[in-house]
Amino acid sequence: MTTAPTQPEPNPLVEGLERLPVHPTSLVIFGATGDLAKRKLLPALYNLAHEGALPERFALVGNARSEMSDEEFREMAMESVREFSRRAPREKVLEKLFSDVRYVSGSFDDDVVYGGIRDALSEFDEIAGLTLNRCFYLSTAPMFFPVIIDALGRNTLAREAGAEVRVIIEKPFGRSLAEARELNARVLSVFQEQQVFRIDHYLGKETVQNVLALRFANNMFEPLWNRNYIDNVQITAAEDIGIGTRAGYYDTAGALRDLVQNHMLQLLSLLCMEPPVAFEADPVRDEKVKVLRAIRAPTAEEVPGMAVRAQYGPGNVAGQDVPAYLDEQGVPEGSTTETYAALRLEVHNWRWAGVPIYLRTGKRLARKVTEIAVTLKPVPHMAFQSETSMDIKPNVLVLTVQPNEGVSLSIGAKIPGTRMAIRPVNMEFLYGTAFLSESPEAYERLIIDAMRGDATLFTRNDEVEAQWNIIDPVIQAWSHIPGPLPQYPSGSQGPPEADQLLLDDDRWRMI
Ligand code: BG6
């Protein structure tokens, strides 16, 4: 058990939300020796401790199948922070944070494990002289989610007199609508919805939350934010990395399940939702669900006209030759798993009807960039001479989620000189220069929000199902079309087939 390990380091330009008190909490991580825990969760805990944002009394219990002592777990946790933390750790803070951790080894269906967890939790309560809140973090392979949920219920760990019990569930939440429904039913037979925190780490990103700030804290956008002024929307989540060592997971998922069903549909709902009455869990999620429900699920016949898939072939990324997806280690021969997916969707409501919303994501594309580009309609009449105003383009508002986080707006401006010549220029806001601070990692915000019991940035059960409702028919239709899939060279802009989705004279933006 640790007490608040550091003095907060105030930055006047960063809002002090994280310094609101959080009730004393014990965090139990299932899968505590896995990749996610090492790379993201443990470093996030360190950075929260560094900021003084953890609750005054905070305790950590790790569980995984491998045998390990408390001391070895502690060493592993400290090593993970040293390797993956966004800031170099201060050894004093690090030692204090992990000074008294517990590790319970054993498999996720073994009741003995849950007995061990209960003992550790009681011990921490005793030391603190009060019942700490419990937060169970399921950071395991998805097939264990129902196993752990059932075991928590069976071992009466889902309720605790005098304390709040919460469960954080990683993605993917099911592999289909049917599986998501089944998992929701299992989870909600043990926990109440307000105890459940389904992670979509994109919602923890500063720039994703800024979509709401931009739209709802500024009056200038609202009058334009509709079908009368917006010509099309493009949401891109491009990555230059391949699948690395994740073939086992990735080949059963593919780009559509891995990124579109969750992260990209979240970006779309934030961009298209109506203003919520309050920035609170239910009002925000009510509005997002309405958007998702306004996207009609395509029929099997409609799928080829609105969705394109492809796989990366060999190529060159950042000066390095890289293999094709089919030659990556662990990918089954002849796999038809897509590493690229593009969709054209439409939100059928008064605000958005008729506006194409293009989504695309892929591994091994030219560079990593996540952005939302909103292209406005062209001016109705161009009064300037055509030869000097050739370059005038419709305004584009680009919200860059990563890297170079910020917002830019392209506008037509007069080129200095004696002629009335016009060209597009960018008005830009960059996070790095405007706030002079490094943004916290998404997991820092999400872990602390879950401990606080604030579910605004988590996905509700009906929202997850509405997301699957859009994606399921595409997955179904694709499963009936035999391979091989179209290939795109690694390091490229993606497959030319994606152009077929574009309406009128719309163009994909350069990645
Ligand atoms: C994860 C996907 O959810 O998001 C990964 O499983 C992907 O395949 C990652 O690489 C991208 O996240 P970020 O934060 O790097 O954009």
Closest to 255 measured CA to CA, from 178, 263, 498: 263
The answer to whether residues 35 and 432 touch, using CB atoms and an 8 Å cutoff, is no
Tokens at residue 348, please? 């059928």
Ligand 1 contacts CB of residue 239 (under 6 A): yes
Give the DSSP letter string of 135-200. EEEE-S-GGGHHHHHHHHHHTT-S-BTTB-EEEEEPSP--SSHHHHHHHHHHHHHHS-GGGEEE--
With 0.85 as the threshold, say if the pTM is over it.
yes
In the prediction, which pLDDT does 71 show? Answer: 96
Q: Do 215 and 206 meet the contact criterion of CB atoms below 8 Å apart?
A: no
| The two structure tokens encoding residue 6 | 């550091």
Residue 236: per-residue pLDDT: 98
Residue 48 CB partners (closer than 8 Å, separation 6+)? 18, 54, 444, 447, 448
**pLDDT tens by residue, 81-104:** 999 999 999 999 999 999 989 999
Alpha-carbon distances of 492 from 66, 316, 321, 343, 488, rounded to whole Å = 41, 9, 13, 18, 7
Nearest to 104 by CA among 29, 164, 170: 29
Annotated active-site residue 348? The verdict is no
**CA–CA dist 242, 266 (Å, integer):** 23
Distance 422 CA to ligand 1 centre (A): 40
Which of 261, 263, 312 has most ligand 1 atoms within 8 Å of its beta carbon, as the pocket-test mutant? 263
Q: Which of 50, 263, 348, 480 is catalytic?
A: 263
Instruction: Give the whole-angstrom CA distance, residue 253 versus residue 285.
Output: 26
370 C-beta closer than 6 A to ligand 1 = yes
User: So what's the pLDDT on residue 432?
Assistant: 85
Query: Are 314 and 323 a contacting pair, CB within 8 Å?
Result: yes
pLDDT of 293-337, one tens digit each?
999 989 999 999 999 999 999 999 888 999 999 999 999 999 999
Structure tokens at 509: 């933006």
Ligand 1: residue of 239, 246, 401, 444 to mutate (most ligand atoms within 8 A of CB) is: 239
CB-based contacts of 237, cutoff 8 Å, min separation 6 = 259, 263, 264, 267, 360, 361, 370
Cα(363) to centroid(ligand 1), Å:
10
Question: Is 284:457 a contact under the CB 8 Å cutoff?
Answer: no
Phi-psi region of 384 (alpha: psi -120 to 50; beta: other; left: phi over 0): beta
Kindly report the number of other CB atoms within 10 A of residue 245's CB atom. Answer: 12
pLDDT confidence of residue 7: 46
pLDDT at 19: 52
Is 123 exposed, middle or buried, given 0-12, 13-18 or 19+ CB atoms closer than 10 A?
middle
Atom of ligand 1 nearest to the CA of 205: 14
Determine the pLDDT at residue 318: 84
Residue nearest (by alpha carbon) to ligand 1 atom 10: 239
Closest CA to 276 of 223, 217, 224, 234: 217
Low-confidence ranges of the chain (pLDDT < 50): 4-14, 16-18
pLDDT score at 10: 47
- Residue 402, strand partner residues: 370
Tell me, in angstroms, the distance from the centre of ligand 1 to residue 245's CA.
Answer: 14
Contacts of 339 (CB under 8 A, 6+ apart): 242, 243, 250, 254, 255, 310, 311, 312, 325, 362, 363, 364
Cα dist. 14→113, 205, 206, 216, 399 in Å?
41, 15, 11, 19, 20
- Crossing angle for the helix pair 206-216 and 265-272, nearest 10 degrees? 20
Beta bridge partners of 316: 321
From the CA of 172, how far away is ligand 1's center (Å)?
12
* Upstream peptide bond of 484 is cis (omega within 30 degrees of 0): yes
**420-425: long-range pairs with CB below 8 Å, 24+:** 420/384, 420/385, 420/388, 420/389, 421/388, 421/389, 422/384, 422/388, 422/389, 422/391, 422/392, 423/391, 423/392, 424/391, 424/392, 424/393
Put residue 42 in one of left, alpha, beta given phi > 0 → left and psi -120 to 50 → alpha: alpha
